Structure 1
Amino acid sequence: MSLTEAQLPYPDYDFAPHWFEHGSVRQHYLDEGTGAPLLMLHGNPTWSYMWRNLVRDLRSDHRCIVPDHIGMGRSDRPDESAYSYTAPSRLADLERLVEHLVTERGLPDRGWTLIGHDWGGIIGMAWARRRPDWLARIVMLNSAAFPMPLGYRLPWYLRLIRSGGSTSARLVHRTNAFAVAASHLGVASALPRPVRRAYVGPYRGLHRRLAVLRFIQDIPLTAADPAWPLIDVGPAEAPQLTSLPMLVCWGGRDRVFDHRFLAEWLRRFPSAEAHLFPRAGHFVQEDAREEVVACVREFLGRHTEGTGASW
């Protein structure tokens, strides 16, 4: 049997696959290393591949849990009669997966570190606000988990796609244009071709990229949007979260999440440590790969309270 594009080997991604079943739908995730758990959540149109460098570096001291959202990466592609491609479904998926890992795979219900990027920040922080007692640390890369900052307007191409029924929306679904564009425009320095292929590979094929389109259409802008409850959290975060050690690694050349998003993270989390990488784009973990890995490792090494050294 020949391998599909999504099953092909990719650079530095030689991890053993794990699967969790949501009814008839299988979700793929990585479970690498031992130690206090790190939960790494990707956004759109990426997948667990984006965390490969952190996993390879941190798995010697931490247990790295890295899911692919359903419909993305190596997870199943159910049709919409079997799965609702909305942010509340993503949050429910995450809650079920973590509960499974705790009850069936021996992970603790304390001492977790949340690491999020793009939509992974929204989904992860929604989970964190429900389970603040499970968390020990938070790491955020270019992302959001709150309403759009004052004065911000979604880029025109995302507005067109989000509107639905437009030529742009059909283009995202019928071609791999959005993933291809992200692999070019999401970085300030060109990715090596094999790495770029790894980013876009899982979305080759019409049936493989419905989630990419639905994530764009699910961007929350008003209270009427299904994803709005995940970001409608008021002007201040709960003290249980703001008291946690937090690291923000930010690419200064992001075309979507600009400086206003970084400012809002720091307003909400005044004690957070921020590291700006002015020459990095949205995929800061690619443009500043070694620096981000070193920054996260150093942060984790300094903040061990509550992580349970015996795990």
Structure 2
Amino acid sequence: MHRDDRVTTEPGDSPVTSVPRDYAPADAGHWFELSEGRDAGKKLFFWDVTLTAQGLVPTEATAETVADLPVVLFVHGNPECSYAYRNVVRALRDRAAAGKFSLPVRLVAVDHIGFGLSSTATHEVVPMDHAENLDQLVGALDLWDVTLVVHDWGGPIGIGALLREPDRVTGLVACNTTVFPMPFVGPTFDDYPIGWLPWADFPRVTPDRFWPAVASYAVFRRPAGEYRVLLELLFYLARVEGFGWFPEHERDARRVYYEQFEDEWNTRASKRLVRQTRYWGHGNTFEDPRIGTRNTAPFYRAIHDGIGREWGPSGREVDVELVFGGWDPLAKDAVLDQWAEALPQAEGHMTVLDGVSHFVEEERPERVARAVVDAGGFAAAHTT
């Protein structure tokens, strides 16, 4: 496999220092230097492996056959990084070891600028920027026959990037995300999870120095009443900021999610994404302190115009699986109806898990792995 000369083993300037051993499969982590756009010169961290019955093998070691392999591309949201998919990958590996895969499958995951092990942000990076960066990486790695797995803001990022060359995609797994205008019916991010302190307003009331702790709490919060959510958050902040305490069973992930925001502009970029939840899928204008006025509406219009045409029944009719945690405004019927209208083949392939929060890949990785197998058509003939 020819390796693009923009791929390197030299890291960027991520603030993450507590890197877990399982952050990426062994010998499979690389950095990709962006050559275009506002983030030109910065480096995206990604890992690239081939999943076989024997386990995870760095894709470079399968150079002769890699061009023929189907690909699963994992695209994370906020305030996560690619490490959020670690348990989904583990579940896929277990399925492969049990003989439940019909072919070797190439797995690729990426950290966006300002997240994980990628370079730090220098402006308030939003999905249209991340999509441009991801498009460059997909082209450099020459990914085809892609099953696209997206969560949270990874939805508009991944779909926005891959719709630029829609023929690359054959399957889509969407987890607690949307690319459509968020309906102003039922719960929204203006009244969830706390009616008088909605998620969209958290950046306004949270000092930057506490944002790392808020982020590492938010990913692991579970369904609860609004006062319990607030009390748990305050208790968590006191223990993390006062004593450096993280729950033992989630210590590695929480440290990563915390440390990635020990940088001013990473924090600003993450906060901007939270503020954007108020306009999710609608588009808006905002003032970036370094760039000036920015308008996200054309980015969303391009997605709205293209997704059904390219991936619906009149286009490639890609296989679609939706797996949503039910404790989330994104899991309401009005959002699911938008998915079904654009991609009718999603009917009968939507799962809403009661008692599960927004971060479904953390809570139900086995269910997400099953969706990946179904959307990618990877199941061995003798399995169900």
For the criterion TM > 0.5, the same-fold answer is yes
Match of 1:8 among 8, 15, 18: 18
Q: Does structure 1 residue 230 correspond to structure 2 residue 299?
A: yes
Q: 1:234 to 1:140 in 2, by over 3 A?
A: closer
Post-superposition Cα deviations, 1:205-259, rounded to whole Å, max 9, x if no partner, equal 2434232112223443555433222322558843430111111111112255544
- Mapped partners of 1:277, 1:69: distance in 2: 27
Secondary structure of residue in 1 paired with 2:377: helix
CA 1:72–1:78 in structure 2 vs 1: closer, same or farther (change >3 Å)? Answer: same
Pairing 1:88-127 to 2, within 5 Å after superposition = 88-102=128-142, 107=143, 110-127=144-161
Give the CA deviation at 1:11. 6.7
Deviation of 1:283 after TM superposition, in Å, equals: 1.2
- The CA distance in 2 between the partners of 1:37 and 1:302, in whole Å, is 11
The equivalent residue for 2:43 is: 26
Aligned to 2:190: 155
1:280 is matched with 356
Structure 1: tracts of 5 or more residues without a match: 305-311
Asked if structure 1 preserves the Cα contact closer than 8 Å seen for 2:75 and 2:158, the reply is yes
187 and 290 in structure 1: CA distance in 2 versus 1, 3 angstrom threshold: farther
Q: Please, which of 200, 209, 217 is the counterpart of residue 257 of structure 2?
A: 200
What is the aligned residue count?
286
Whether the aligned pair in 1 keeps the contact of 2:15 and 2:262 (CA below 8 Å) is: no
RMSD of equivalent CA atoms: 3.0
Tell me the CA shift for residue 158 of structure 1. 3.1
Give the letter aligned to residue 354 of structure 2: P
Deviations 1:72-118 (A, max 9, x none): 011011423xxx6132211110111111112xxxx4xx311111000
Q: Distance in 2 between matches of 1:250 and 1:124?
A: 17
Equivalent residue in structure 2 for 1:17, among 17, 29, 38: 29
Distance 1:199 1:250, change over 3 A: farther
Query: Is contact 2:145-2:169 (8 Å) kept?
Result: yes
Using the TM superposition, give the Cα deviation of residue 292 of structure 1 relative to its aligned residue in structure 2, in angstroms: 2.5
Task: Write the distance in 2 (CA, Å) between the matches of 1:288 and 1:115.
Answer: 14
Q: Which residue of 2 aligns with 1:132?
A: 166
Corresponding residue number in structure 1 for 2:122: 79
Q: What's 1:40 paired with?
A: 74
Per-residue deviation, 1:5: 6.7
Q: Which has the higher mean CA deviation after the structures are superposed, 132-141 or 143-152?
A: 143-152
Query: Which residue in the other structure is 1:309 paired with?
Result: none
2:270 — aligned with what? Answer: 212
Give the greater-gyration-radius structure (CA): 2
Alpha-carbon contact 1:19-1:27 (below 8 Å) kept: yes
Q: What does the per-residue CA deviation read over 1:159-194, in whole Å, with 9 as the maximum and x for residues that have no partner?
A: 3246xxx434xx246532430331332678x99332
Cα distance in structure 2, aligned partners of 1:257 and 1:173: 31
Supply the distance in 2 between the matched residues of 1:195 and 1:260 (Cα, whole angstroms).
Answer: 36
Q: What's the TM-score, normalizing by structure 2?
A: 0.66
Q: For 1:63 and 1:20, how far apart are their aligned partners in 2? A: 18
* 8 Å CA contact 1:7, 1:74 repeated in 2: no
For residues 19 and 256 of structure 2, the distance between their equivalents in structure 1, rounded to whole angstroms, comes to 12
| CA separation of 1:6 and 1:199: change in aligned 2, threshold 3 A | closer
CA distance in 1, matches of 2:126, 2:364: 31
The alignment's TM-score, normalised by the length of structure 1, stands at: 0.79
